[in-house]
Amino acid sequence: MSELLTIRKTCRLCGSTHIVRSIPLANVPIVSPNVGTEADAAGTRLTTIMAPLDNYLCEDCGLNQLVHIVDPSLIYRNYLYRTAISLGLADHFRGLSKAVIDGAKLKPGDLVVEFGSNDGTLLSFFRDAGMRVQGVDPAQKIAAEATAKGIPTRADFFNPAVAQDIRRELGGARAVIANNAMANIDDLDSILNGVGAIMAPDGVFVFETQYALDVFEKTLLDVIYHEHISTFSVQPVVRALGRFNLLVFDAERIPTKGGSIRFWVQHANGPRPVAARVAELMALEQRTGLYDLAYHHRFSERIAQIKAGLHALISEARAGGRQIGAYGTSVGCAALIHQFELEDKLDFLFDDTPFKERLDGPGYDLPVYTAEGVLQHDPALIIILAWRYADQIRKKHARYIEQGGRFVVPLPEISVTTQVLSN
């Protein structure tokens, strides 16, 4: 095992030792296309160092989690991903900022703190509404860029010491926000203690994250990778936050990233009543079987069926002597290459905004072309790994389809496009 990896023995949310492997998944490289670091101190390419993505279930609180943890400094100090490149995310952040301003009754001059703030896109909406803002993000270059754009951002990992520093300098935060950051953090005790330290007595902590019920019900396999080490649901969060004198007073399902959840948290003695849908969602999770191992095993079976179907389509296309491509090189797309065992079955990749010119790993080194390369290389089949954007991709490449090309969407179940989509 690489020194860049550690293995947890306890649940990161409640501390229980009763965690069991519920879904075996493929090993994947410890770094994704989001990471700018290419090699470790010994010169070994990080894309050749593999670690399991097996899902573990805490039998006490119900948190779904990974136990193979990559050193966060390796991932986030040289992070490449910027919020601004994600299609539609800025519009979502505009709506989120309005919801927080209304829900917390924020006023101009109130302090809003976001950890995992990336390029400051979300905080910019609060700044434009007259609030004071402070970002915290360990990606040093991205933090500097955000600060230069008028979103003061501390290049650090959020923790109680950072929280106390900000509070001494700026006062208590009326709103603390984490958008798709909580799932990336191993030391949740430190985070939640930091939230309690910086949040004003009547403040709110709002965090959005992938919702476990949607991940399993919709087969959102591409959201499981080494940057996302927890998949949250309502029951474990409600049960755990009491240890930190915090209280979930609302939880709402939202459509982002195929299915997410927005938690609203206050101090345990905060002023807001608990919404009925908190208990309603916990009851739904129990009825669905989210915390039953048999439910998890059915998810594994669906993955195996999709993999077999993809391999059959690829074998058929290969019989004609033509090449096979895939569309999408994001972190989730790269993980799917391993989960579906496509490493030796692809000839190249396409991406509208590729981070890198090649994607490599054990046994493969694939060129990455921009969208213009689709017609140039004209593969028999293109697997859309970026499946949430399948409609946009297929419409953009109508000419490829007209010439006989086929797009395959693998999730949430396999579908094949042989005709141009109507607008």
- The number of distinct structural domains making up the chain is 3
Of the three residues 23, 40, 70, the one that is the final residue of a domain is 70
- Indicate whether 388 and 315 sit together in one domain: yes
- Indicate whether 26 and 91 sit together in one domain: no
Average pLDDT over residues 134-148: 94
Domain interval for residue 305: 294-417
The answer to whether residue 326 is domain-embedded is yes
The pLDDT score that the predictor gives to residue 1 is 46
The answer to whether residue 286 is domain-embedded is no
CA-based nearest residue to 4, from 65, 64, 66, 51: 51
b/e map 240-263, b = 16+ CB within 10 Å: bbeebebbbbbbebbebbbbbbbb
- Indicate whether 97 and 244 sit together in one domain: yes
Residue 87 has pLDDT above 60, yes or no: no
Q: pLDDT tens across 358-371, in order?
A: 888 887 899 999 99
Average pLDDT over residues 238-257: 96
**CATH classification of the domain holding 182:** 3.40.50.150
The pLDDT score that the predictor gives to residue 41 is 64
**Does residue 364 or residue 239 have the better pLDDT?**
239
Of the three residues 274, 309, 336, the one that is the final residue of a domain is 274
> Sign of the CA dihedral 303, 72, 118, 64?
positive
Average pLDDT over residues 280-308: 97
- Indicate whether 98 and 244 sit together in one domain: yes
The answer to whether residue 78 is domain-embedded is no
Tell me what percent of the residues of the chain surpass a pLDDT of 70.
92
Average pLDDT over residues 105-121: 96
Residue 186 has pLDDT above 70, yes or no: yes
Which residues pair with residue 173 across a beta bridge? 199
Average pLDDT over residues 198-212: 98
DSSP string, 156-217: S---HHHHHHHHHHH--EEEEEEES-GGG-S-HHHHHHHHHHHEEEEEEEEEEEEBHHHHHH
- Indicate whether 163 and 256 sit together in one domain: yes
- Indicate whether 409 and 345 sit together in one domain: yes
